[in-house]
Amino acid sequence: MQIDAGISDLERIKKVEVRKIEERTLREVTVKIELERIDTQEGVMVEALLDSRVTGLVMSSEFAKKQGFKLKKLERPVNVRNVDVSFNKEGLIENMVEVNIYYQRYRERTEIDVIDGQK
């Protein structure tokens, strides 16, 4: 009996965690920023997701290619972990892009990791 109770408690916790993730999705905050390609100084306006629980800046490989960003190979590929701590099925981050980010009067030159499997 106690074993069954433990399993149902675990299932209940998982359901609560899923519900919390769904609630977070509903509260997404985005801002319009400009990403400027370093090599051509051409920019593209995008909506950036804030507080996505990502520990750095990321851009999908599909978006990077479509917008003409020049990919730079990382010296050492980086493992990607999902929110649930499992490894991402798309594999390692192997590339990045260097950009200028503009938001209102703010400008910052930075590197953004390029990930596969996202749009």
Q: Is the pLDDT of residue 55 over 60?
A: yes
Q: What's the pLDDT score for residue 3?
A: 44
- Is the pLDDT score of 10 beyond 80? no
Owning domain of residue 22 = 2-115
- Alpha-carbon distance 103 to 1, whole Å? 58
Domain tally for the chain? 1
Q: What average pLDDT does the segment 94-108 reach?
A: 93
Structural Rg of the chain based on CA atoms: 19
What is the structure's pLDDT at 27?
Answer: 62
pLDDT for the residue numbered 4: 43
CA–CA dist 97, 111 (Å, integer): 6
pTM of the full predicted structure? 0.67
What is the mean predicted confidence (pLDDT) over 80-106? 85
Nearest to 114 by CA among 42, 63, 67: 63
Q: What is the pLDDT of residues 14-48, one digit of tens each?
A: 555 555 555 555 567 788 999 999 989 999 998 88
Tokens of 37: 């390609």
The CATH number covering residue 29 comes to 2.40.70
